[in-house]
Amino acid sequence: MVRDSLDLGLARTAAAVVVVRVIAAAAQFAMTFVIARALGAEVSGWYYLAFSVASIGAVFASLGVGRATMRFVATAAAERDWRSVAGVHRQGALVTTAASAAVACLVVLLAPFLANTVFDKPEVEPVIRIAALLIPAQTLLGLYSSILKAINRPISATVLQAVGPPVAVAIILLVTGTDSATVTMTVVITSTYGFLAIEFFQWISAVGKPARQWGEFNLSKLIRTALPLMVVSSMALVITWSDVFLIGVFGTSADVGIYTPAARTALLISLGLTAIAAVAQPRLAVLHNSGDFKGLEQLMRNTSLLGTVIGLPALIVIEIAAPWFMNLFGEGFDAGATALRILAIGQFLNVAVGTTGLLLSMSGHERYLQRTMVAGALVNIILNVTLIPMLGINGAAIATAVSLGGVNLANHTWIRKTMDIQPIFLLPLRRP
């Protein structure tokens, strides 16, 4: 009876997380839409270049501490070791605050070089300077989101990190009607700090008195655990943002402004897989730890099947109506229709393969995932540098689609080698 109650509670939480993640994706798309309509292609390009610099800075400033903190807080909280919980929180917050402040200062100093030499777009310099203030906010927002998930507050964590800020930004921009990249960035920064404050008070409220304790935890242990995790997250970020960054280097601000909404629209194809992964993640670990590889294989094939069934209609609609989708963002955005079609195919192939990276990380094979992500990031950069000067934003789309497919293919190969299972439902089973 108790187990049934726990399973029912877990199922309800998982379902709620799926709904919230769908809402988060919709909120991100809505913010992208509002920014494009408000700023236009060129000015929104300034914003996205500065935002890419801040996002890259935030990942390196995090040092992988967020994911390591989540692991240690979850373990200590399960054992009701509140002294360790408080210690992990304190060490994680101190490290990320110091690192993000240092990176923010570095970005401010490098703003003239980035704007004038790297991007050759002097008008981006003031936006980059302001965007530096976003780095500590993004870093700490991610940290406290991880902590809230570790103490069984996944819905609050997702809402405060992924739903609240974009919704607030979209509403404020609609009300103010601004057409300034610096004002838009200021709104984003203010909203992020606001939701960071809410996350902090959520942590205090959820844990109570132990949250205000000094606590004890080995800092070197936290860092040793965090740094390998930073490799995966930083390489994932390179694949996510290198196309935008390098379009800024080789193309125009308008190219960046047109390409980014296309990339965000293509992500809608993987929405189903993202939601499914939220439910499947704990089950993957349980099946692997119990040695039930047949059940693990079936779960992976089911996620691949469901993701494909959900993603295929979206792919067909985007391939047919790409110009219409891009015209929603404003005049001139239809130039990104071909890039959208290419990116959509890449996202669909990602969905068809399934949650291969998640399986590697949940089964103790992080080192293979690290190798794959490093190789994928290098391929992504090389292809972007090669193709963008020749093909513009379509070259960036090809580079992103190819590198994403390569990462998934490599992950699939590692899974076949280490676990001898076939995770893709389209491919035949080797075992009876």
Look at residue 301 and tell me if it is in a domain.
yes
- State which residues form the domain around 351: 221-432
Same domain, 265 and 360: yes
Is the domain of 173 the same as that of 313?
A: no
Same domain assignment for residues 260 and 350: yes
Asked if residue 77 has pLDDT above 90, the reply is no
Pick the more confident residue, 381 or 20.
381
* pLDDT score of 152 more than 90: no
Residue that is last in its domain, among 217, 251, 272:
217
Name the pLDDT band for 2 (thresholds 50, 70, 90): very low
Q: Would the pLDDT of 123 be above 80?
A: yes
Interval 237-258: pLDDT, tens: 778 888 999 999 999 999 999 9
Whether 325 and 391 share a structural domain: yes
Residue 325 belongs to a domain = yes
Q: Which pLDDT belongs to residue 10?
A: 47
3-state secondary structure the chain: CHHHHHHHHHHHHHHHHHHHHHHHHHHHHHHHHHHHHHHHHHHHHHHHHHHHHHHHHHHHHHCCHHHHHHHHHHHHHHCCCHHHHHHHHHHHHHHHHHHHHHHHHHHHHHHHHHHHHHCCCHHHHHHHHHHCCHHHHHHHHHHHHHHHHHCCCHHHHHHHHHHHHHHHHHHHHHHHCCCCHHHHHHHHHHHHHHHHHHHHHHHHHHHCHHHHCCCCCCHHHHHHHHHHHHHHHHHHHHHHHHHHHHHHHHCCHHHHHHHHHHHHHHHHHHHHHHHHHHHHHHHHHHHHHCCCHHHHHHHHHHHHHHHHHHHHHHHHHHHHHHHHHHHCCCCCHHHHHHHHHHHHHHHHHHHHHCCHHHHHHHCCCHHHHHHHHHHHHHHHHHHHHHHHHHHCHHHHHHHHHHHHHHHHHHHHHHHHHHHCCCCCCCCCCCCC
* pLDDT reading at 115 higher than 80: yes
Predicted confidence (pLDDT) at residue 197 exceeds the cutoff of 90: yes
Same domain, 171 and 287: no
Pair 64, 180 in one domain = yes
What per-residue confidence (pLDDT) applies to 7? 44
In a domain, 9, yes or no: no
pLDDT exceeds 50 at position 6: no
Comparison of pLDDT for 358 and 171, the residue scoring more: 171
- Residue 334: its pLDDT value, please? 92
Q: What is the mean pLDDT of the chain?
A: 84
359 and 421 Cβ atoms separated by less than 8 Å:
no
Tally of CA atoms within 13 A in the half-sphere of 233 that contains its CB: 21
In this structure, the answer to whether residues 118 and 239 fall within a common structural domain is no
Q: Is there a single domain that holds both residue 77 and residue 105?
A: yes
Average pLDDT over residues 105-109: 96
- Asked if residue 120 and residue 59 are part of one domain, the reply reads yes
Which of 217, 251, 284 is the endpoint of a domain?
217
Decide if pLDDT at 211 tops 70. Answer: no
Q: Which residue has the higher pLDDT, 377 or 304?
A: 377
Q: Is residue 22, in this structure, part of any structural domain at all?
A: no
Last residue of some domain: 175, 197, 217? 217
Residue 243 lies in a domain: yes
Residue 13 in this model has a pLDDT that exceeds 70? no
Query: Are residues 181 and 232 both part of a single domain?
Result: no
| 194 and 308 assigned to the same domain | no
Through-space distance between the first and last CA atoms of the chain, rounded to whole angstroms: 35
User: How far apart are the C-alpha atoms of 191 and 367, rounded to whole Å?
Assistant: 36
Res 4 pLDDT > 50: no
**4 domain residue, yes or no:** no
106 lies in the same domain as 131: yes
pLDDT in tens, 136-148: 999 999 989 888 8
What does the alpha-carbon distance between residue 172 and residue 180 come to, in Å, rounded to a whole number? 13
Across 298-310, average pLDDT: 81
Q: What is the pLDDT of residue 236?
A: 77
The answer on pLDDT for 202 being more than 80 is yes
Residue 105: per-residue pLDDT: 97
18 lies in some domain: no
The verdict on residue 17 lying in a domain is: no
| Among 83-92, 181-190, 356-365, the range of highest mean pLDDT | 181-190
Q: Report pLDDT for 87.
A: 82
Q: Would you state the pLDDT for residue 209? A: 67
The structural domain count of the chain equals 2
Pick from 70-84, 164-178, 346-360, 417-431: least confident: 417-431
